[in-house]
A = this chain, B = another copy of it.
Amino acid sequence: MKLTFSPASPFARKVRIAAIELGLIDQIELTTITVAPGQANAEYEKINPLKKLPVLILDSGDVILDSYVIAEYLDELAGGGRLIPASGPLKWKVKTEHSLLQGMLDSMLLCRYENAMRPESLRWKVWSDDHWNRVWSGMARFDSDAAMLSRPLDIAQIALTCVLGYADFRFADRPWRKAFPNLDAFHQKMLERSSVKISLPPPA
């Protein structure tokens, strides 16, 4: 299998961590792809019209997206119920948390595009403030959820790790550690995993 990948993509990082934790990383070739808003990539658009990372390309040629569906696919390949609970109330809790974290990552990328890629004269602070508020409110919610932060490893915890790593990478001036000490402790603990450490984004 091939995974389209960039070391800067928090979505690709999530899948990479999941694949390592599931013992599947040796079956996956990471293929580095460059995508950016406003820049065409005709070859990759044939694979994914959304021009987003990551997608998983199976040996059959079938393509799987998005990052959550890839994680589900890998989880099933590893026996099922490993990173996504197979049943019960925790199943819907983890999925819901993951959707919230996915939306937080989307908002972070929108902030990044607004403040780093859009021409300076066209930036709209109302927009980026709104999206950053969503990220911050989401962080506040997880900071106060001791049960979530201390469960056995699951896909929501991996996504939260990628949110925090991306905050460090692209928003180093936002003091999330000071505001959310429980998230700080969680992140420290997650960094003890080699899957998390090896996949840290490069220096910004």
A95-B72, A122-B122 known; A65-B137 Cβ under 8 A: no
A residues near B, CB below 8 A? 37-38, 45, 48-52, 62-66, 68-69, 72-73, 89, 92-93, 95-96, 99-100, 102-104, 106-107, 113, 118-119, 121-124, 126-127, 129-131, 134, 137-138, 140-141
Docked Cα-Cα span, A123 to B130, in Å, equals: 17
The residue among A45, A92, A102 with the most chain B CB atoms within 10 A of its own CB is A92
A38-B130, A65-B96, A127-B118 known; A49-B138 Cβ under 8 A: yes
- A129 closest partner in B (C-beta): B38
Majority secondary structure, A binding face: helix
The residue among A49, A127, A129, A138 with the most chain B CB atoms within 10 A of its own CB is A49
Q: Count the copies.
A: 2
- A39 closest partner in B (C-beta): B130
Docked Cα-Cα span, A137 to B69, in Å, equals: 21
Pair A49/B124 contact, Cβ less than 8 Å: no
- A99 closest partner in B (C-beta): B66
Tell me which of B50, B103, B127, B129 contacts A103 (CB under 8 A): B50
How distant is A187 from chain B, measured CB to nearest CB, in Å?
A: 19
Tell me which of B37, B51, B73, B126 contacts A92 (CB under 8 A): B73
How distant is A194 from chain B, measured CB to nearest CB, in Å?
A: 29
28 inter-chain pairs at a CB distance below 8 angstroms, sorted by A residue, are: A37-B126, A37-B127, A37-B130, A37-B131, A38-B127, A38-B130, A48-B100, A49-B100, A49-B134, A49-B137, A50-B104, A50-B107, A50-B134, A50-B138, A51-B130, A51-B134, A63-B96, A64-B92, A64-B95, A65-B96, A69-B92, A69-B95, A73-B92, A106-B106, A118-B127, A121-B122, A122-B122, A122-B124
